[in-house]
């Protein structure tokens, strides 16, 4: 199986967004936010029960910090993370403009080859740690943070044929389909 496509900045950004959405770091981030919200709530309840402060006094002292942390976490989740990906995309292009461009992928029974303006890479199938499939992409992870991106709309091979081929070479527990 052989196909060629043009890998552009939108494909790179799509991988970064997918990785960010499904990485373990996101779970850690959510736990930190929950901790930051839970601690003031714990203090409110403890102070209210033990010290017999009025509820009004406790709310005046703690509610602003809870609201601030909540708004800050929403702002980060919606805007800052997306902006960070776009900023890093510009930096990648300045440092490594050869990352983008035409790529040819050749899939064989024993190995796969990736050819680009940067050179050629030949790997065995067991070098792929996992495959994530979305409605628009296949992400072939070679490590935790590095993947070969295959945009479905840019290849002349059917997604079903490519999926069947990949599932034949990748263990089922390492192949995931995401709706987003």
Q: What does the domain layout of the chain look like in residue ranges?
A: 2-7+101-177, 12-95
Say how far apart CA 135 and CA 133 lie, in whole Å.
Answer: 7
The residue-averaged pLDDT of 160-174 equals: 91
Q: According to CATH, what is the number of the domain 2-7+101-177? A: 2.30.29.30
Q: Are 107 and 148 in contact (CB under 8 A)?
A: no
Structure-model confidence comparison of residues 99 and 114, the more confident one: 114
What's the Cα-to-Cα distance from 150 to each of 93, 133, 141, 145, 153, rounded to whole Å? 19, 9, 11, 16, 9
Report which of 127, 134, 131 is spatially closest to residue 174, judged by C-alpha positions.
131
In tens, the pLDDT along 30-83 reads 777 777 777 777 776 776 666 666 667 666 766 777 777 777 777 776 666 666
Average pLDDT on 96-125 reads 86
User: How far is Cα 26 from Cα 21, in angstroms, rounded to an integer?
Assistant: 7
Q: What does 87-116 look like in DSSP terms, one character per residue?
A: HHHHHHHHH-GGGSEEEEEEE-SSEEEEEE
Give the containing element (helix H, strand E) for 147. strand 147-151
Report the distance separating Cα 91 and Cα 11, nearest Å: 16
Instruction: Enumerate residues 6+ apart whose C-beta is below 8 A from 7.
Output: 99, 100, 101, 102, 103, 116, 149, 151
- Looking at residue 15, its pLDDT comes to 84
């Amino acid at each position: 199986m052989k196909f060629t496509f043009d890998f552009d900045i939108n494909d790179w950004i799509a991988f970064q967004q997918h990785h960010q959405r499904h990485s373990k770091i996101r779970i850690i981030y959510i736990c930190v936010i929950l901790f930051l919200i839970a601690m003031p709530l714990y203090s409110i309840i403890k102070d209210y029960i033990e010290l017999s402060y009025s509820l009004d006094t406790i709310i005046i002292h703690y509610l602003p910090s809870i609201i601030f942390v909540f708004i800050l976490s929403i702002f980060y989740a919606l805007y800052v993370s997306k902006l960070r990906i776009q900023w890093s995309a510009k930096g990648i292009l300045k440092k490594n403009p050869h990352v983008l461009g035409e790529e040819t992928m050749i899939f064989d029974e024993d190995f796969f080859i990736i050819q680009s303006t940067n050179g050629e890479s030949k790997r065995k199938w067991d070098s792929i740690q996992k495959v994530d499939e979305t409605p628009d992409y296949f992400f072939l992870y070679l490590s935790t943070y590095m993947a070969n991106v295959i945009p479905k709309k840019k290849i002349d091979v059917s997604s079903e044929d490519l999926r069947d081929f990949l599932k034949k070479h990748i263990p089922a527990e390492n192949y995931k389909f995401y709706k987003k």
